[in-house]
Amino acid sequence: MINIVLFGKPGAGKGTQAEFLKGKYNLTHLSTGDIFRFNIKNDTELGKLAKTFIDNGDLVPDSVTIQMLEAEVEKNADSKGFLFDGFPRTIAQAEALDAFLNSKNQKVTATIALEADDEILVQRLLERGKTSGRADDQDEEKIRNRYQEYNEKTAPLIEYYKGQGNFYAVNGIGLISEITERLSLIIDKL
Is 14 among the catalytic positions?
Answer: yes
Q: Does 146 bind ligand AMP (CB under 6 A)?
A: yes
**How much of the chain is in helix, strand and coil states, percent to nearest 5?**
60, 15, 25
Is 134 among the catalytic positions?
Answer: yes
List C-alpha distances in Å: 130 to 17, 33, 40, 98: 21, 18, 20, 37
CA atoms of 85 and 48, how far apart (whole Å): 22
Q: Does 60 bind ligand AMP (CB under 6 A)?
A: yes
* Interacting span for ligand AMP (CB under 6 A) from 53-61, 94-102, 103-111, 116-124: 53-61
CB 146 to ligand AMP: min, Å: 5
CA atoms of 88 and 68, how far apart (whole Å): 12
Which of 87, 161, 167, 168 contacts ligand AMP by CB under 6 A? 87
Is 146 among the catalytic positions?
Answer: yes
Q: Does 8 bind ligand AMP (CB under 6 A)?
A: no
Residues making up the annotated binding site for ATP are 11-16, 128, 174
DSSP-derived pairing of the beta strands 2-8 and 110-115? parallel
CA atoms of 8 and 4, how far apart (whole Å): 13
Toward ligand AMP, which CB reaches closer, 78 or 119? 119
Q: In the complex, which residues of this chain contact ligand AMP (CB under 6 A)?
A: 10, 32-33, 36, 53-54, 57-60, 65, 86-89, 93, 136, 146
